[in-house]
Structure 1
Amino acid sequence: MRSTETPIVRALPWLILAAIVLIGLSLRGPVVAVAPVAGLIGDELDLDSARVGLLTSLPLLCFAFATPLASLIIARAGRDLSASITLVGVVIGTLIRSSDGAVSAFVGTIVLGIFITVGNVVIPLVIADEIPAERSGMATGAYTASLNVGSVITTFGTAQIAVALGWRAALAIWAGLAVAALAVWLAAAGPKAALTPRPRQRMDAAARAAAPRSVSFGIVLALGVAFGTQAFAFYGMSAWLPKLLTDEQGFSAEQAGSASAVFQLFGIAGALTLPLLVRWLGRRAGILTVLAFWLSVPIGLLIAPQAWPIWTITGGLAQGGGITMMFLLVVALSQGARGGRASATVQGVGYAIAATAPATLGALRDSTGAWTLSLIAVAVSVLVAAAFGLVTVAGIAKTAALPSDRIPD
């Protein structure tokens, strides 16, 4: 027994996976779409760089601090309706953000952040409940890859659309991703299930006995730290890699942007490859492999910065594999009796840590005039992520949330 809710009809299991992937596209694309048109937004709305930057950092803060609200919504509305609420909220937030002046831009961004937070928490529950255990790893990889794909599509597409239609239309058009995802989700879950509140019920004694054991809060917290420090490296490098290459290699803004795009694109490959590695070699090997690839980035940029193409590729593989590894473990925790609470706690702790990355790395660079300490901080963060990830793996195995070190896939 994996959940107290009725599973989605499995007559068309591929439709469930398609819905999960489309939802993933909708959960990051609208957030990163701001960056390519940040200058246009600032000029028209008379915002300085710091306030324009808030339009990209506010959603991340919501991921951290709105998780209790997300957990409450899921508990009251149920898994299926919560996924529908996520997508409707993304559409509403996207349209508000593009509708008027600065106030609308910030209100819409906060609405977006809150409803995306609900999606962040509920999708691991959908995977845990609806995808057979032997397929959950690949489903998780497809989901995390779709997060990267959504980021890449909107990063490349928003600027071109803005040239033709203006920045408001360029941001609003990505609401179409959520509309498409909602249509597929309604077909996969069924309109009645997707639109009807089904509060997650308390399990009786017999159900608790049949359900997988929930891990201790300490293990949930350990995964939160692992999730956060892995994301710290990702968000920190995403924010500062272009500037680092401009400073150290003399790149133009266009060249640095292209290198950053390579970093994002190879994240897709990392997300899809990691579940296969875990299936063959186990979770511990997956964590250690991600660690090795992540460490190559700061060490490589310190020792051989001229080899930056290699480090952007290995970094891309690392960040895609790293977030997939974290979500594999979140899905494992979500199979217990308190899966929703565990998913919310992990991501709340994790994104709170990750939200500090851009400012921390920037402050280290400004205080020394060089990138050395910033890169050392990235290396330390991934070492911490690996250590706490291994603690989580041991905790899951000990409580028998899954029967072995390997996630069957």
Structure 2
Amino acid sequence: MHTGPTEDMDDRGSVDVLADRVRELVEARGPGAGPVTVVAVDGPSGSGKTTLAGELSRRLGAELLHVDDMHQGWTGLCETTRIARRSLVDAWRGGERPAYPTWDWTRDVRGADHPAPTPDLVVLEGVGSFAIAGDDAAARVWVEAPTEERKRRALTRDGELFAAHWDEWADQEAGLWATEPGRDAADLVHDTGSGSDVLREVPGHDLGALTRPPMWLVVLGVVAVSLNMRLLMTGLPPLLPRLREDLGLSSVWLGVLTTLPVLCMGLLAPASARLGLRLGVARSISLAMVAVVIGNLARFWGHEVVALYLGTLCAGAGIALAGTLLPGMVKRSFPPGRAGLATGLQMFAMMGGAGVAAAVAVPLADALGDWTRSLGFWGLVAVIGLLLWLPLDRRMHVRGDHDQHPPDASHRLPWRSTTAWFVAAFLALQSWQFYSTLAWLSPTYVGHGWDARDAGLLLSVFTGAQFVSGLVGPALTDRVGDWRVVLLAAGACGLVGQSGVWLAADAAPWLWAVLLGIAQGASFAVGLVLLVRYAVSPAAAARFTAMAFLVSYTIASLGPMTMGAVRDATGDYSAIWMVLAMLMLGQLTAASLLRPNRPLVT
């Protein structure tokens, strides 16, 4: 990426050489923000940006502005860049009165905007300056030093106050540079950690643009993986009567087949987050898809009970790994204002695949001659998903999608965050109901005398409604100020649907299925949005997801089996729906606590 140190540094100091190089860039490119020429100096905390920028501005005769004066609290780095870009750089370009944001550290709220000058030349220094200046920067200088040296400098400068926030801030830096211009976008890289400063020049192209995967490839990859996240589970319930007949399994053991993947999603979530840090998110998701392929294909031999359960366990482990890491991928790859839409696309694929699997499970078994072939068929679909994901894996791996700071305390799960616990509780209630509905909606209506094929179609209506609400619900969160409106409306639909199946199952079964699908699709999709919105960075999103999934899915994994036990104990499917309706009341209560201004998860 870089050439070696510049040749004339033996005779002149690196800052002098840097000033000359910046001057050349400024003269060649000219002003970009209206009449203002911006030189951006960025890099991680403690790298020496402030000192270097001061020397640089003195040599260039430039105005010096510090992003440190603009930061919106300890968790507001991304918000700082958005506000400063709009009020400062965009104002320069538009001929408006420029200002920059401030923060009232005493009251921990945003302060009054501070008027800013409109100079001919400005050096904008601080974490996020590349993002603030954007394409209007005439020159970008990246300053770096080894992590331990940076930490020593920062704590010497700011004391124990910064020590308490070092890991939190490092997460935000990594998150910012995953989606905004960072080191790859620099014209010049200045290393201050080698004893004597070293200046390296970057070739004249933007390597970041060459290695950063295009958005269409990210969308294709996320959709391909998401499509395979529910096939394992929704292709099973319509076939449960055949499994019961052929294998002689009880309702409890049939429920275990749905429970295993959910249990994996809970228990393996922390390990999944750690694997993502070690191997990179994209490479880990590739491994997850391999496990999904193997596990589904193993169910071709489902007449052997061991193969049936081991295959389900293997594919469930893959789903757990991919499901834990996908929210972080969304956080990293999409702008914050598009998190809902991106999650909606993920849900669109997930629930779309689920609906198709439920609808064709029985016809596929009839066409292929056996229910095991219907289950194993989804392994072939997973192969296609893996092939569509691999190009993104290659691009991300070349770029390097590992976490950029060492695996220390910053990678612990957010057990002390009340926000994380509230979200986990909400997802636990939602997931218990979803997987119980998934497992027992079709058998309930088979118990009412329906044909298995029609019961499978009813389940596909349930998943089809999720397909729509899972896309619409998250998109609405980008537009409404309070996502609780969506969650409470969805919960009300679910309560009506559950009560309908409980008290009047045959009165309007298709309507009940639609209402259940609307409730579960929107609730789960918005829950995924919360894992992104409440996290301060992609790394924090991965830890938050791991913690929330560990709690929620471990609890929810008991749902299908417990509901099966309820059915066996009472001899009546309606008892299942009575219990689920009561749980929906708890979900509505949990949803009411998830206000948008809750503390962020670090």
- Pairwise TM-score range, normalised by the shorter structure: 0.7 to 0.9
Give yes or no for the alignment of 1:72 onto 2:271: no
**Could you tell me which of 489, 514, 517 is aligned with 1:289?**
489
CA distance in 1, matches of 2:424, 2:438: 21
Residues 118-167 of structure 1: per-residue CA shift (max 9 Å, x gap):
01100001001111112211110121222212222223334334334444
What is the aligned-residue identity percentage? 25
* Aligned CA distance change for structure 1 residues 200 and 96 (closer, same or farther; 3 Å): farther
CA shift in 2, pair 1:264/1:192, >3 Å: closer
1:182 to 386, 391, 396: 386
Structure 2 counterpart of 1:57 = 259
Q: Does residue 268 of structure 2 align to residue 96 of structure 1?
A: no
* Pairing of 1:250-399 with structure 2 (within 5 A): 251-281=450-480, 282-302=482-502, 305=505, 306-336=507-537, 337-368=539-570, 373-394=575-596, 397-399=597-599
Mark the CA change 1:371 to 1:215 in structure 2 (over 3 Å): closer, same or farther: same
Name the aligned partner's letter for residue 16 of structure 1.
V
Residues 200 and 222 of structure 1, relative CA distance in 2, 3 Å threshold: farther
Paired amino acid for 1:87: M
Deviates more, 1:190-199 or 1:341-350: 190-199
Among 154, 160, 183, the residue aligned to 2:357: 154
TM value normalised by structure 1: 0.83
Corresponding position of 2:228:
26
What is the CA-CA distance between 1:370 and the residue it aligns to?
5.2
Contact 1:16 1:189 in 2 (8 A): no
Cα contact 2:432–2:556 (8 A) shared by 1: yes
SS in 2 for 1:173: helix
Paired with 1:185 and 1:217, the residues of 2 have a C-alpha distance of: 34
Larger radius of gyration: 2
1:174 partner SS: helix
Q: Does the 8 Å CA contact 2:213/2:396 hold for their aligned counterparts?
A: no
Deviation at 1:41, TM superposition (A): 5.7
| 2:561 maps to amino acid | A
Q: Secondary structure at the match of 1:201?
A: coil
Which residue of structure 1 aligns with residue 60 of structure 2? none
Offset at residue 218 of structure 1 (A): 2.2
For the residues of structure 2 that align with 1:177 and 1:257, how far apart are their CA atoms?
20
Q: Give me the TM-score of the superposition, normalised by structure 2.
A: 0.58
Distance 1:307 1:157, change over 3 A: closer
Does the CA contact (< 8 Å) of 1:185 and 1:194 recur in 2? no
Using the alignment, how far apart are the partners of 1:144 and 1:171 within structure 2?
22
Q: Higher RCO, 1 or 2 (CA under 8 Å, sep at least 6)?
A: 1
Deviations along 1:60-97, one digit per CA (max 9) or x if unpaired, are 22122222322222232121211111112212222334
Q: Tell me, yes or no, if the aligned pair for 1:186 and 1:194 is still in contact at 8 Å.
A: no
Q: Which residue of 2 aligns with 1:407?
A: none
Output the amino acid matched with 2:333.
Answer: E
Give the number of the structure whose residues are more often helix, by fraction: 1
**Which 10-residue stretch deviates more, 51-60 or 143-152?**
51-60
Opposite residue 219 of structure 1, the aligned amino acid is T
> Deviation at 1:304?
5.0
Letter in 2 for 1:276: A
Name the SS for the 1:48 alignment partner.
coil
- Which residue of 1 is the match for residue 425 of structure 2? 225
Q: Flag structure 1 segments of 5+ consecutive residues without an equivalent.
A: 209-213, 403-409
Cα distance in structure 2, aligned partners of 1:203 and 1:64? 22
Per the alignment, in what secondary structure is the counterpart of residue 405 of structure 2? Answer: coil
Alignment partners' CA distance in 2, 1:70 and 1:277? 30
User: Alpha carbons of 1:334 and 1:203: their partners in 2 closer, same or farther (altered >3 Å)?
Assistant: farther
- Closer, same or farther in 2 for the Cα pair 1:383/1:194, shift >3 Å? farther
Q: 1:80 to 1:53 in 2, by over 3 A?
A: same
In structure 1, C-alpha distance between the alignment counterparts of 2:255 and 2:430, rounded to whole Å: 22
Q: Which moved more, 1:273-282 or 1:370-379?
A: 370-379
**Bigger shift: residues 170-179 or 125-134:** 170-179
Cα distance in 2, alignment partners of residues 72 and 51 from structure 1:
32
**Residue identity in the other structure for 2:469:** G
Q: CA RMSD in A?
A: 3.3
SS of residue matched to 2:402: coil
Q: How many residues align?
A: 391
Deviation per residue, 1:231-264 (Å, 9 max, x gap): 12222222233344455x6544444333232212
CA contact (8 A) 1:4 1:201 kept: no
Unaligned 5+ segments in structure 2 are: 1-172, 180-207
